[in-house]
Amino acid sequence: MAHDKPWWSDDQYVIGSLSTNTRKVRFINTLTKQEHVLTVPAEETCEELLTRYLPFNHHAQSYTWKTLDAKTQEMKELDMKQTLVENEVVDESSKFVDLRIKDDYYVPAIYLYFNDDLTVA
């Protein structure tokens, strides 16, 4: 039996992709005051992060996601089709490593605001 390509190049054996960079993000539910810190791939959009967050809050789709804008110091809504970098949620963890500061000293936060839209989990 002839094989056209080696097994490691065969798509049927692919179970995921390797991230170029992971980062920690703190999700803060402003309604319940619960916080969860997740390590997420930098390449994922906020929509994909929402899927990762669903086990912690089955109604996560009923929330508006916001973060603190570094320039204006006001809350701004995240574009769910963009990544955190595209939404200007800065990852400064590499600076902390260089300065020998614990990587959990500062974790960027995403604030979840309940919309009260009567969705069902």
Structural element, H or E, at residue 29: strand 22-29
Q: Is the pLDDT of residue 51 over 60?
A: yes
Residues 68-96: tens digit of each pLDDT: 998 899 999 999 999 999 999 988 888 88
The CATH architecture assigned to 18-114 reads Roll (3.10)
Q: What confidence tier does 119 reach under pLDDT thresholds 50, 70, 90?
A: low
**Which sequence spans correspond to the domains of the chain?**
18-114
pLDDT at 11 over 60: yes
What would the two tokens of residue 34 be?
Answer: 């619960």
What letters, b where the CB count within 10 A reaches 16 and e where it falls short, cover 17-34?
eeeeeebebebbbeeeee
